[in-house]
Amino acid sequence: MLQSWLATICSAAALASAVAAGDAYDAQAQAIVDGFSAEQLLGQMTQLTLSTVMNDTTRELNETAVRSFAQQHVGSYLNTYWDKPVNGSYGYNASEFRSIIQRIQEISMEENGGHPIIYGIDSVHGANYVDGSVLMPQQINSGASFNPDLVYEVARITARDTEAAGISWVFGPILDISQNTLWSRTFETFGEDPYLASVMGAALVRGLQSYNQTAACIKHFIGYSKTPTGHDRDNVNMPDFDLLNYFLPPFKAAFEAGALTTMENYISLNGDPVIASSRILNDLLRSDLGFNGLLLSDWNEIYNLHDFHRVSATREEAVGTSLKQTSIDMSMVATDTDFIEYGLNMLKENPNQEARLRESAKRIIKLKLQLGLYDNPVPGKDYRVRIPHGSLG
């Protein structure tokens, strides 16, 4: 009883401290964003894949491209240069990753008023894109352990090895509920039990964020896995009862565990693409769940309102639709900066939307402050020696 009481007191104290720190970051972020132009707002909201700034035939950084994007105020990068092997290797070890991200940060902060980028990656079973890191089981195997303490350790080591590469944003855990074993991503889930996914997902979030330099990005909000055919992108028909009682609990638990960010998904829910759904991304996420962290699109998904869902006549219209109808904060574009131009055109026709964009930029800057990126843009230096090849280079 005493132990339980002390744990409650300690948890309350930690929560009070976190709230106070959050308020301070909130004020700092607001002060920074108040000075942003419209171009800076939309630049911060843009995320590009690493291949946009890499030489096509070598593993060298194209610094001219980085500088050009920095001058457009691009706020984030993701991914690894894995689409073709170079010298027999697809990936980078921690030191190689750090070297690339260090230079991206140096150029970006030099050209963009001292504002760092935030780098994200899919470390979903260990730091699986960092050569020499500790590979972990897929989530379906972790779920089968029924051991949240073990899953916490899996996440803690994943965060350590990801930070060793200089990366502070992990696109995980996956909190989709398995509904159709034909779906190609079933192995990424914790299975079919919402309670198990809730407990394990919360443990993963706490482990990933235990170093206070890594942000978890829980995904894919929401209903993504209820595919009727097994195809990855389907229209999903679902009553609210199922949505709220079966698919929502893992996300709710992860938010309560302190998840700093979340990612939406590729589906249409009852005919309404999630990426344009005010009901899902405003009412459910922001109002009902009270989530005030960063909301990221999935790959190319805003453009997919035109390219895939066919509900927008052009990509420019798609950008306007998503920005006006939802609270999306960052677009994983991920291969160009047209999003910025399209957003500016939307603002010309809808100047009242500027406050909404400032709110998104504020969430982005607040996250960067929370992770200490303004003071230490490439975290995890001390963790390199924990993984093979980590001290080389």
Q: Where are the alpha helices (DSSP H) in 89-147?
A: 94-111, 139-144
Q: Which residues contact 104 (CB under 8 A, 6 or more apart)?
A: 53, 61, 66, 77, 117, 119
CB 78 within 8 A of CB 332: yes
**Residue whose C-alpha is closest to residue 343's, from 351, 115, 335:** 351
375 is catalytic: no
Q: Which of 122, 176, 298, 329 is catalytic?
A: 298
Q: How far apart are CA 245 and CA 29, in angstroms?
A: 35
**Residue whose C-alpha is closest to residue 79's, from 46, 51, 117, 115:** 51
DSSP-derived secondary structure for 133-147: S-B---HHHHHHTT-
Extract the runs of DSSP E, i.e. beta strands, from 241-322.
Answer: 261-264, 268-269, 272-273, 294-296
Q: How far apart are CA 181 and CA 227, in angstroms?
A: 10
Burial of 2 (0-12, 13-18, 19+ CB in 10 A): exposed
| Residues involved in catalysis | 298
